[in-house]
Structure 1
Amino acid sequence: MNYILFDGEVRNSLLPFTFTRPVADIRIGILTIREKWEKYLNATTSPKTEKYLSKKYPMINSRANILLNASFCPTKELVSIILNLKKNEAVFKEDLLIAYFTDDAEQKVDLSDYRKINFEGDLLRVANTWDIFSDNGIALQQDFEMITEGRQSAPISSTNQLINPENIFLEEGAKVEYSILNATEGPIYLGKNSEIMEGNLIRGAFALCEKAVVKMGAKIYRPTTIGPYGKVCGEINNSVIFGYSSKGHDGYLGNSVLG
Structure 2
Amino acid sequence: MKRGKMVKNICIFEDEGFKNLLPLCYLRPVFELRCGISSLKEKIAGFYPEAKLHLLCRDYLVDVTKRRSKETSVNDLKIEGNCLFINGRILAGKDLSRRIPLDGAEEIALSEEVLIYARLTPKTIAEVFREDGHLRNTTIELLKKKVKVTKIKLDLISYPWHLINYNSEAIKDDYQSIGGGKVEGFLDKAATVYGDRSQLFIGESSRVEAGVVLNLTEGPIYIGKNVKVRPFTIIDGPSFVGD
TM-score (norm 2): 0.75
Structure 2: runs of 5 or more not aligned: 1-7, 66-73, 131-138
SS at match of 2:182: coil
Change in CA separation of 1:119 and 1:173 when aligned onto 2, cut-off 3 Å: farther
SS at match of 2:11: strand
Runs of 4+ in 1 over 4 A off after TM superposition: none
Report the Cα distance in structure 2 between the residues aligned to 1:171 and 1:116, rounded to whole angstroms.
Answer: 45
| Superposed displacement of residue 94, structure 1 | 5.1
Alignment partner, residue 9 of structure 2: 2
Change in CA separation of 1:125 and 1:143 when aligned onto 2, cut-off 3 Å: same
* Equivalent AA in structure 1 for residue 16 of structure 2: E
TM-score (norm 1): 0.71
Report the Cα distance in structure 2 between the residues aligned to 1:182 and 1:76, rounded to whole angstroms.
Answer: 25
SS at match of 2:35: coil
Counterpart pick for 2:163 among 132, 140, 143: 132
- Which stretch shows the higher mean deviation, 105-114 or 72-81? 105-114
Q: Which has the higher contact order (CA 8 A, sep 6+)?
A: 2
* Equivalent AA in structure 2 for residue 72 of structure 1: I
Question: How is 1:204-223 mapped onto 2 (pairs within 5 angstroms)?
Answer: 204-210=237-243
Q: Which is strand-richer, 1 or 2?
A: 1
Structure 1: runs of 5 or more not aligned: 211-259
The answer to whether structure 1 residue 201 and structure 2 residue 234 are counterparts is: yes
Q: Which is helix-richer, 1 or 2?
A: 2
Report the Cα distance in structure 2 between the residues aligned to 1:68 and 1:35, rounded to whole angstroms.
Answer: 13
Alignment partner, residue 173 of structure 1: 205
Alignment partner, residue 65 of structure 1: 83
Report the Cα distance in structure 2 between the residues aligned to 1:52 and 1:153, rounded to whole angstroms.
Answer: 40
Alignment partner, residue 113 of structure 1: 146
Aligned length: 206
Report the Cα distance in structure 1 between the residues aligned to 2:119 and 2:95, rounded to whole angstroms.
Answer: 18
Change in CA separation of 1:173 and 1:44 when aligned onto 2, cut-off 3 Å: farther
Counterpart pick for 1:19 among 10, 26, 29: 26
Q: RMSD over aligned Cα, in angstroms?
A: 2.3
* Equivalent AA in structure 1 for residue 75 of structure 2: M
